Amino acid sequence: QVQLVQSGAELKEPGASVKVSCKTSNYNFINYGVTWVRQAPGQGLEWVGWANPKNGDRNYAQSLQGRVTVTADTSTSTAYMELWSLRSDDTAVYYCVRDIDWVVDHWGQGTLVTVSS
């Protein structure tokens, strides 16, 4: 079955950066995009960004533009989301999600990123 397995929880200080990985399996990684979504404690879902492993295209939420990068390593079928200049309001569970042609289907288990001094 399709799997997206994310890296473990992170605790970061304000101003630092974090890189979350999303290891995929049991599907052709190159043929699908990877979307990143986050959810602050007790809040709703927020779209973070998207990467196309085949051609390297990327898009980001305007609210995070300039602080976030999403990448895809086709050699290891792994996607990454890096966020820097972390603030307390970046504390959230970050999810990677598979998508293709506007179809969003399989979700990773989520990675809790806590920003605190």
Partner 1 sequence: QTVVTQEPSLTVSPGGTVTLTCASSTGAVTSGYYPNWFQQKPGQTPRSLIYRTSNKHSWTPARFSGSLLGGKAALTLSGVQPEDEAEYYCLLYYDGLWFFGGGTKLTVL
Q: How far is CA 72 from CA 23, 46, 76, 116, in A?
A: 10, 20, 9, 28
CB contact at 8 A, 34 and 70: yes
> By C-beta, is 41 or 117 nearer to partner 1?
41
> By C-beta, is 13 or 41 nearer to partner 1?
41
* Minimum separation from the CB atom of position 89 to partner 1 (A): 17
Binding string, residues 69-98; x marks residues near partner 1 by CB under 8 A: --------------------------x---
The answer to whether 3 contacts partner 1 (rule: CB under 8 A) is no
Binding string, residues 12-51; x marks residues near partner 1 by CB under 8 A: -----------------------x-x------xxxx--x-
* Minimum separation from the CB atom of position 45 to partner 1 (A): 5
The answer to whether 59 contacts partner 1 (rule: CB under 8 A) is yes
* Minimum separation from the CB atom of position 60 to partner 1 (A): 8
